[in-house]
Amino acid sequence: MNDDAYEGARLDKDDVVLKTTGLEKAFGGLVATDDVSIEVDRGTITGMIGPNGAGKSTLFNLISGFYENDAGHVTVNGEEVTDLEPHERARKGLVRTFQTPRRLEGMSVREAMLVGPGPQKGESVFSLFFSGSDVTEEERANIEQTRELLERFEIGHLIDQPSTDLSGGQMKLVELARAFTTDPDILLLDEPVAGVNPTLANDIKRFIRELNEEGQTFLIIEHDMPFIMDLADPIIVLDQGKVLMEGSPDEVRSDDRVIEAYLGGAGP
Amino acid sequence: MSAVSSWVSETLVRDATERRIFAVLGLITVLLVAGVFAGVIGPRFLLFQIALVGMYALLSLGLNVQWGYAGLINFSVAAFWGIGAYCAALLTAPNSPLGLGLHPVFGFLAAIVVSALIAVLIGIPTLRLREDYLAIASLGLAEVIRAIILNERRWTAGSSGISGIPNLMSWLPLTDAATTAAIVVVLIAVVYLFLRRVHRSPWGRVLRTIRSDEDLAKALGKDTYRFKMQAFVIGSVIMAVAGAFYAHLNLYIDPSDLVPLTTFYIWIAVILGGTGSNRGAVVGAAVVIAIREGTRFLNDIGFIQTLGIDLAPLRLLFVGGLIILIMRFRQDGLLPPKDELIWPAARDGSRSGGASPSSAAPDGGTAPNGGDDR
Ligand SMILES: Nc1ncnc2c1ncn2[C@@H]1O[C@H](COP(=O)(O)OP(=O)(O)OP(=O)(O)O)[C@@H](O)[C@H]1O
Ligand SMILES: [Mg+2]
């Protein structure tokens, strides 16, 4: 595909939560992210698709600060976060999940969930000794929130299970629930239904939609086309590290360049 | 009495295997005490061994904070121990190169401050990097500290060591051996209670998360560097306190104990006891020391004398054999961690269940705020 075909994303949105400008990342000679500028509007579920190796996860890693970018900027709610550490970006409201489920060895589901809210008073050794009752109060509230959220996601019965004993789909659900407890401004989900059975995938779709209706903004990478086409609007298409186009599910579905990118693979 | 037994059953002994382990340990204790009354074991000797076990238990508790809680690989246990021991010896022994002869309190304070400082200095460049960097740096630190103590004779008396370290609290109406044994018990109790509080808390939970997946902790907004630094400093300070205590137990200190073997024993104790478990660290230390000290006497047993082989140098072999047995039959160590890291006061109100999460069948909360405030 020639370079003119890369139309780029829409950059004229009203209420931008997340914005990248000219992000670049190369691994040796391989340019994984090539001048990526995108905007995510508050309150949307924005999808991100693209063939294998298009650079979607790399872009997430750049946005969330896990990779250092070669050039470009990231802003959250208009605030520059390009030089911040991953945990500082998370505190600014930018929270991501990972493509492969993260296993918390030796933790129950309840514990794994309780890592989410933050910063907690009980995370300071000093408070543990000098304001124990505040810690108790906050911990109680968090336990209660965990219980409600798991019940809402219909996995309340798993609360005592070892978090490593869950099915892939249940793990994804716990990750989604936990990420939500951080009270993020935007949630970045990397393939939330990869390897999840269709029933559970449908549940996950329903929960994401519910959270979105309550105001949660999402940016979601997903290979499962019916899933993402049904859930997200707009959808950003990435190919060979560049933004190919952005549009509604229908526009994306009928775009020749998108079809070519998927059929042509990495070819010219 | 029932309060004590319920505390024991909820806090120390969690299942049948653990009951057996504690029964064996109890039996050994009874035998040792019986040995004292039968005149086979000198009471002074036994008290010294108790103090020694206690000191190793402190070291294991320290390493458990670093490796067991946070997954930090520290190969300089002996160095932090030595820092503590030398702080105490140099400040309190009248004939040390410094010749100050201060009160032991200052030795302990210096041990805490110096070890914390050195832990921070090692932590700053390494804790932001991948975990192996701390391992390498700490290996280096151990040798550097040993080399400094050996070679800076002007300050440390080098290989001739420092003698004349005073006893602790000799005004107590007990023999010196009984006093040191009592002190180590108190030290362990204080450290244990401190660690129990900080471990079963949001703080301990973040460390456990870092241990299994640091990126996840970062993605959830946790400043993992800060948490790792705190765990590293707390663990190192506990090790230095153990060292300062040892100086006052042995009344003499030289650099010969600052070898990697000491670090190795502590690692074994933590792994054997159950990585991440405070109870395990204490029990693991007791087992390792029992083997190390016990094998000294194997040659005195008539039957073995007739075999004509020297068994004492084989003690590492026994330790190795024990590790293989444990790994074969109890992979997670003797007393692996059982607690959910949740602030205990918060769970009583929000759950109706008891202390053990697995026994409360499907969903712990039937009565949201049932009135059982144990
Ligand atoms: N840490 C890394 N080091 C070297 N190359 C990398 C690294 N991470 C990603 N890449 C390369 O960058 C390109 C983009 O990878 P990325 O994982 O971002 O793709 P993706 O769009 O997420 O693909 P998938 O759909 O398979 O998850 C690939 O060619 C990949 O091999
Ligand atoms: Mg990917």
Q: How far apart are the first and last CA of chain A?
A: 5
Whether B116 and B231 have beta carbons less than 8 Å apart is answered as no
> Is the pLDDT score of B94 beyond 70?
yes
Write out the residue range of the structural domain in which residue B147 sits: 13-260
Question: Cα angle at A35 between A33 and A40, to 5 degrees?
Answer: 90
Query: What interface predicted TM-score (ipTM) does this complex get?
Result: 0.92
- The pLDDT assigned to B353 comes to 41
Choose which residue among A23, A24, A49, A57 to substitute to test ligand 1 binding: the one with the highest number of ligand atoms within 8 A of its C-beta: A57
- Residue B17 confidence class, pLDDT cut points 50, 70, 90: confident
Span B67-77, mean pLDDT?
94
- The pLDDT assigned to B355 comes to 41
Q: Give the Å distance between the CA of A102 and the centre of ligand 1.
A: 18
Which CATH superfamily is A3-103+182-263 part of?
A: P-loop containing nucleotide triphosphate hydrolases (3.40.50.300)
Percent of chain B with pLDDT over 90: 41
How many angstroms away from the CA of A188 is the closest CA of chain B?
11
| Residues of chain B neighbouring A177 (CB-CB closer than 8 A) | none
Q: What residue ranges do the domains of chain A occupy?
A: 3-103+182-263, 104-165
- The pLDDT assigned to B98 comes to 80
Report the number of distinct structural domains present in chain B. 1
Q: By alpha-carbon position, which residue is closest to atom 30 of ligand 1?
A: A53
Average pLDDT, chain B: 83
> Is the pLDDT score of B367 beyond 60?
no
> Is the pLDDT score of B264 beyond 50?
yes
Least confident of B38-47, B65-74, B118-127: B38-47
Structure tokens belonging to residue A70:
């070669």
Q: Give the Å distance between the CA of A190 and the centre of ligand 1.
A: 13
In a domain, B243, yes or no: yes
How many angstroms away from the CA of A169 is the closest CA of chain B?
18
Q: Coil, strand, or helix at residue A162?
A: strand
In a domain, B283, yes or no: no
> Is the pLDDT score of B73 beyond 90?
yes
Whether B139 and B75 have beta carbons less than 8 Å apart is answered as yes
Span A113-142, mean pLDDT?
91
Look up the CATH number of the domain holding residue B188.
Answer: 1.10.3470
- Residue B312 confidence class, pLDDT cut points 50, 70, 90: low
- The pLDDT assigned to B356 comes to 41
Question: Cα angle at B38 between B34 and B43, to 5 degrees?
Answer: 75
Choose which residue among A23, A33, A56, A62 to substitute to test ligand 1 binding: the one with the highest number of ligand atoms within 8 A of its C-beta: A56
> Is the pLDDT score of B116 beyond 70?
yes
In a domain, B82, yes or no: yes
- Residue B8 confidence class, pLDDT cut points 50, 70, 90: low
> Is the pLDDT score of B352 beyond 50?
no
Q: Give the Å distance between the CA of B127 and the centre of ligand 2.
A: 28
Which residue spans within chain B are E strands per DSSP?
162-163, 252-253
Q: Does ligand 1 come within 6 angstroms of the Cβ of A52?
A: yes
- The pLDDT assigned to B325 comes to 84
Q: Does ligand 1 come within 6 angstroms of the Cβ of A97?
A: no
Span B4-25, mean pLDDT?
73
> Is the pLDDT score of B307 beyond 70?
no
| Residues of chain A neighbouring B207 (CB-CB closer than 8 A) | none
Which candidate from B209, B343, B350 shows the least CB-CB separation from A135? B343
Output b/e per residue, A165-179; b: 16+ Cβ within 10 A: ebeebbbbbbbbbbb
pLDDT digits 0-9 by tens, A26-83? 998 899 999 999 999 999 999 999 999 899 999 999 999 999 999 999 999 999 999 9
Of B236, B231, B276, B259, which Cα lies nearest the Cα of B111? B236
- The pLDDT assigned to A26 comes to 94
A186: contact with B, CB 8 A cutoff: no
Measure the CA–CA gap between B171 and B179, rounded to whole angstroms.
9
> Is the pLDDT score of B294 beyond 60?
yes
Q: Does ligand 1 come within 6 angstroms of the Cβ of A58?
A: yes
- The pLDDT assigned to B11 comes to 63
In a domain, B367, yes or no: no
* φ, ψ for residue B46, nearest 5 deg: -65, -45
Span B324-328, mean pLDDT?
82
Span B347-354, mean pLDDT?
51
Span B296-314, mean pLDDT?
65
Name residue A154's amino acid. E
Better-scored residue on pLDDT, A264 or A137 = A137
Interface of A with B in 93-132 (CB under 8 A): 95-98, 102-108, 110-111, 114-116, 118-125, 128-129, 132
Measure the CA–CA gap between B346 and A91, rounded to whole angstroms.
25
**Nearest chain A alpha carbon to B358:** A160
Average pLDDT, chain A: 90
Whether B71 and B224 have beta carbons less than 8 Å apart is answered as no
Span A165-182, mean pLDDT?
91
Burial class of residue A225 in the structure, from the number of CB atoms within 10 Å of its CB (0-12 exposed, 13-18 middle, 19+ buried) = middle
- The pLDDT assigned to B210 comes to 95
pLDDT digits 0-9 by tens, B165-185? 888 777 777 777 888 889 999
Question: Cα angle at B259 between B253 and B262, to 5 degrees?
Answer: 90
> Is the pLDDT score of A266 beyond 60?
no
Span A238-257, mean pLDDT?
90
- Residue A261 confidence class, pLDDT cut points 50, 70, 90: confident
- The pLDDT assigned to B348 comes to 65
> Is the pLDDT score of B309 beyond 70?
no
**Nearest chain B alpha carbon to A156:** B363
In a domain, B29, yes or no: yes
- The pLDDT assigned to B205 comes to 95
